A and B are shown apart, each in its own frame.
Chain A
Amino acid sequence: MNKMKMLLLQTSFISLGIFLSVGTFQAIMHLTGNTYATEWYFALSVIFAGVLCSVPSLILCSDKIKPFFVRIILHFLMIFAAVSLLGWLFKWYTGLVGYAFVMLIFVLVYVFVWIMTKLFYVREDREINSALNSIRDSE
């Protein structure tokens, strides 16, 4: 997988994660008799957020920064800053409580993306290993 494909994959997962989180929240609000309406530009802002938040993934591919968990921490902080900025620009939150709620969603999405990425790699590894089993030399 090249870097462009990885960025597209990350963008898709991030956008999907935000849509799922907000969608679930809206469903809960609706079922409890409340409403949570989003602005007309919400869908576009989520896709934009997906693109912007996937770019720091390039830091994960850099072998210059070791060990890997340092890259993850840097990656998390960069995306945290990006989400804070985007939230302020697109008015995803008002006040500290709103900000804390958006950040909670962000953390959930962040974990969701990593779980999905890991599952994707595990499935791919399993497929390759299964195919290798049938051609492997016996030693």
Chain B
Amino acid sequence: MNDNMKKRLIRIIVAIVLLLAAVLIDFRPGKINVIIYLLSYLMVGGDVILRAIKNIIRGKVFDENFLMAIATIGAMFISEYAEGVAVMLLYQIGELFQSFAVDRSRRSITDLMDIRPDYANVKRESKIIKMDPDEVNVGDFIVIKPGERIPLDAIVIEGASMVDTSALTGESVPREIGQNQEILSGCINVNGLITAQVTKEYQESTVSKILELTENASNKKSQSEQFITRFARYYTPIVVIFAVLLAVLPPLLIDSASFSDWTYRALSFLVVSCPCALVISIPLTFFSGIGGASRKGILVKGSNYFETLANTEIMVFDKTGTLTKGVFEVQEVNPRGLINRAKKENDKEVFNELVNEFKEQLLEVTAYAESYSSHPISQSIQKAYGKEIDRGKVTNVEEIAGHGVEAFVDGKKVTAGNAKLMMLRGIDYIDEELIGTVVHVAIDDKYAGYILIADEVKEDSAQAIGSLKESGIKQTVMLTGDNEAVGKKVADRLGLDKVYTELLPGDKVEKLEEILSLTSDKASLAYVGDGINDAPVLARADVGIAMGGLGSDAAIEAADVVIMTDEPSKIPVAIRISKKIIGIANQNITFAIGVKILILILSALGITNLWVAIFGDVGVTIIAILNSFRALKI
């Protein structure tokens, strides 16, 4: 609570005491209680009246201060002193609570986003100086002690440690880092001492970019925010006009209607004419939502994207790097040809040992045979083999373009390549439908087995697609540049509804537009990619989601929503969060407008009194604000 709020609180308390005193001596007729009422009123409402007067001088009539002043002074004119004071009192309590709630929310979000590093330990001529991260240059050496926040993006030169990325990714498991690895600002060094060389200036570093994004996110306003500000613009004047009509018309038209009774009803109108309660809870909800989502490693770049996400009907995925890991690796070494020849062995343990030996052997001869090739496939085989290759053992290498390679390894003839090569050489290979690239291997013209190289599907991809369908996504589509066999297999395995294969990067935008035209008017289409080569597609979709934002500037730039980690399972989480936030916003809108209208009707009929009106009004504000706080805890 700041000084201003404290002052207001004290004034409210003093006014309550005075009001109680006045009510207690109210049964004794006389002027003394009126003076106490007035003192109490001025204590609590003095600033409102002052502001109202100032605004009238400036020619602004429909101002909240003015309306409250009229409502309360009006009440006192018709000798409802206690009510006049109480209305002002409750109004001020409501205002104070609003300020308190907004202040608290601003603070809690700032704390949440407190990933700003305070200093950097810079090595200068064998001394270590504490510096503002802003002043550190690219190429400087920095020292990060255990428990400290990494101040700038850098590369580890010396030392190893665990790094806690949770502030950026929501991921609680620390990452292991060592020499030559990149470290990102904003993360916390957990245990080891690291020396690192700065790669980016502070303004360009990960932490500044993320902070800027979250700070700017609530600038882009949601439709509910726009609706409520537009509503507020008309609401107040309309209610005030009704209030005037209510005070004037019935007493003129109906004989039995008394002027003071209808004025009293009209004053209730003025009491609920203030729109602030409505207006405040909506930005508060979205602001809290942005904070809550970023805590989970989901960066939403504007309040409006919560709405688009919540309305998503079709979700389109890129394959490589999004649903799959995007790294070609040896998935399987199957020495079935060698095994078939060794099947006589019955002892299970001996058999298993033999299989492992065969696998090793198959991988080894293939790695040797392919050792002169720089093709990605042969490189991934060599990576899987992992041992030094003595090229002296490889002779007579012959590359057969589009088929594979043939070479002598340790005097044995090794043939490695695709099915076409096996047919060409008349080798009886075992055909099986596999996802990925298959390298068949024959040793001395006898089939030995195959090595399967493929891009691996991420562990949580299938689960992500499943939960998306549960959360109401009607159609899941995959776009890929890969061939049909691979694309279809991956799509089937993950349970995607549709797949479009063999697309060039330019085709993806076209395909997306085709799918977009199928989307119904109110629903939206989301595209999920890695942001590296699909920026145009991300931009074209109603909402573009990029994966693996941490450390990838391209992804952060191109998308509307950034998933900081590489996990597709965060996408259903993002949808769930969006739906919850939109839900809260809608509850607040309908609840606040509903109660206000109810009070207006009851007041017009003369069923309620000023007390109920102001209680209803302040109560709605408080409930709506408390409801919006739920958006923070998601």
Indicate, yes or no, whether A interacts with B: no
Which residues of A are at the interface with B, using a C-beta cutoff of 8 A? Answer: none
Which residues of B are at the interface with A, using a C-beta cutoff of 8 A? Answer: none
